[in-house]
Amino acid sequence: MSASEWEILRELDALKEAKATIARKISALEAQLKQIQLQNDAASNAFSSSSYSTNGLTQDMIHRYSRHLMLPSFGVQGQANLLKSSILVVGAGGLGAPALLYFAASGVGRLGIVDHDVVELNNMHRQVIHTEAYVGKPKVKSAAAACRSINSTIQVVEHQEALRTSNALEILSKYDIIVDATDNAPTRYMISDCCVVLGKPLVSGAALGLEGQLTVYNYNGGPCYRCLFPTPPPRTACQSCADGGVLGVVPGIIGCLQALEAIKIAASVGEPLSGRMLLLDALSGRIRIVKIRGRSMQCEACGENSTFTQQKFREFDYENFTETPLCVPPVKLNLLPSESRISSKEYSEIILKKEPHVLVDVRPAHQFKIVSLPKSMNIPLSTLEVRLPEVSSALKKEEENSGAVSGSSAQLYVVCRRGNDSQRAVQYLHKMGFTSARDIVGGIESWAHNVDPKFPTY
């Protein structure tokens, strides 16, 4: 990027920031002005506003939430309860985004947001609360600004930090209802345990691919997360949205349902989804609500003889328990000796020198279709075993085409997305007699970083 481009981008950023600040000031001042005008009106009126019976709702509130008030099953009492309630949303991502929008719009009195991450363009397909102007900025700031612009009359609290055993008790204790909108197993156990020791209901949602799950834990004697899942799943069974993909609208639906459940609890209306679990299968258009076990007497967290206290919570090692780090950095395996690996730069030189070789890309076929390196052949890792003959014949063909010139045999290289599966593939290839097979360190992501910044990453 040239210096002048840089300068313009920086100025644009500064101007956008200033614009947002001004917009916030305008809406705050407008709200203030309206309030003063209303007070003046009330004062000039022969009737003082306190002479009307409104169940504690102001004229503004009655106007804003009128469609809630018109609902016989929700009504003034439901809205008054909601206005007095406080809800904490942990995670301002795909689940938290729609939930937060509805909480703000519906008038939750105090709305807390916890997140340590920044807004990323490749998450915006599902994190609909964030706008392009906030890319690279903290999600909490972005989400809080969106909530305030929808409803300037509620209190929005920003917790711009990762939830940990050291701060969770303090943060969660300030709210009536907790919404788990996070994306990993250790945090889910941590939030559930914290809700148990603090006695808070937990509205839990999850989504991946085209499926979603929803239930309410620790509500009115119902089960907690550990009652259902006393032992954490093996790490290999926990896929993330970054690795498995997710259709944006799926967490959107689950997040909306989380908002619904939390609003019901806050307003004290209806039957919360406790002791039951909603399962969404978006692809087939099926929603199933199943009956799940009640509170387990043997539960380590909430059972009869549980010794799980606030102190124990503070000392509990969730990363160790689930064998998963709380903040998930992509795993970097190191399975091969260095002579069996080459860097993406070295591989680019092999292409330039036209050295005879075959490049096998072991990513799943649908990822290969997104983008691939020139002349690579796609053999997904799971099919490598049965497609070994294709590797042999490709090598043979390459040797026939160029062997006469160089006199040397064709080399075999393996690539994947980040350089883990390619090592597994090379290990297998070595075992099967392709002893010179080598993998490209860091996969196509490294190619994009170190060889060609124009190469698309996903």
Partner 1 sequence: MDETYRGGLELLCDSKKIHNVNIEQQNGEDKLTMKDLLSWIRTNLIKERPEMFMKGDTVRPGVLVLVNDCDWELSGQLNTSLEEKDVVVFISTLHGG
Which residues are known binding-site members? Answer: 94, 115, 122-126, 139, 183-184, 224, 227, 299, 302
- Residue 227 near Zn ion by CB under 5 A: yes
Does 236 interact with partner 1 (rule: CB under 8 A)? yes
Binding status of residue 208 toward partner 1 by CB under 8 A: yes
Is residue 416 annotated as part of the catalytic site, yes or no? yes
Q: Which does 448 bind (CB under 5 to 8 A by kind): partner 1, Zn ion, none?
A: none
Residue with tokens 């600040």, as numbered in its chain: 21
DSSP one-letter code for 358 = E
In angstroms, the CA 60 to CA 152 distance is 12
Scanning 121-208, the segments in alpha helix (DSSP H) are 139-150, 168-172, 185-198
Q: Is 212 a binder of partner 1 (CB under 8 A)? A: yes
279 binds, among Zn ion, partner 1, none (CB under 5 to 8 A by kind): partner 1
Q: Select 212 or 442, whichever has its Cβ closest to partner 1.
A: 212
Residue 205-224 contact track with Zn ion, rule CB under 5 A, x = bound: -------------------x
Q: Write out the binding residues for partner 1, residues 265-294 only, by CB under 8 A.
A: 277, 279, 281, 284, 288-293
Q: Is 288 helix (H, G, I), strand (E, B) or coil?
A: strand
Question: From partner 1, Zn ion, none, which one binds at residue 101 (CB under 5 to 8 Å depending on kind)?
Answer: none
Cβ proximity to partner 1: between 151 and 258 the closer is 258
Residue 215 structure tokens: 């239930």
Instruction: Give 107's contacts (C-beta < 8 A, 6+ positions apart).
Output: 61, 64, 65, 68, 79, 82, 83, 151, 153, 154
Among 226, 341, 418, 424, binds Zn ion (CB under 5 A): 226
C-beta of 136 vs 244, nearer to partner 1: 244
- Binding status of residue 216 toward partner 1 by CB under 8 A: no
CA distance to 34, 61, 105, 214, 271, per residue, from 31 (Å): 5, 13, 16, 37, 36
Whole-number Å distance between alpha carbons of 146 and 152: 10
Strands 155-159 and 177-180: unpaired
Question: Which residues make Cβ contacts (< 8 Å) with residue 418, sequence separation at least 6?
Answer: 330, 332, 442, 443, 445
CA–CA separation, 248 and 251 (whole Å): 6
> What minimum distance in Å lies between the beta carbon of 74 and partner 1?
28
Give the separation between CA 453 and CA 458, rounded to whole angstroms: 13
Taking the C-alpha atoms of residue 217 and residue 340, their distance in angstroms, rounded to an integer, is 50
Q: Which of 56, 136, 233, 330 binds partner 1 (CB under 8 A)?
A: 233
Residue 292: CB minimum distance to Zn ion, A: 12
As measured in angstroms, the least distance from the Cβ of 242 to partner 1 is 9
The interface region with Zn ion, picked from 22-30, 47-55, 58-66, 302-310 by CB under 5 A, is: 302-310
Select 107 or 232, whichever has its Cβ closest to partner 1.
232
Stretch touching partner 1 by CB under 8 A, among 105-113, 137-145, 203-211, 368-376:
203-211
- Rounded Cα gap, residues 375 and 389, in angstroms: 18
Would you count residue 299 as binding Zn ion (CB under 5 A)? Answer: yes
Cβ-Cβ contacts under 8 Å for 186 (sequence gap 6 or more): 318, 319, 321, 322, 324, 325, 326
Annotated catalytic residue within 147, 194, 195, 241: 241
Q: Phi first, then psi: what are they for 439, rounded to 5°?
A: -110, 160
Residues in 398-457 at the binding interface with Zn ion, rule: CB under 5 A: none
Tell me which residues are annotated as active site.
Answer: 241, 416
Q: Which residues bind partner 1 (CB under 8 A)?
A: 91, 93-96, 181-185, 188, 205-209, 211-213, 228-234, 236-241, 244, 246, 251, 277, 279, 281, 284, 288-293, 382
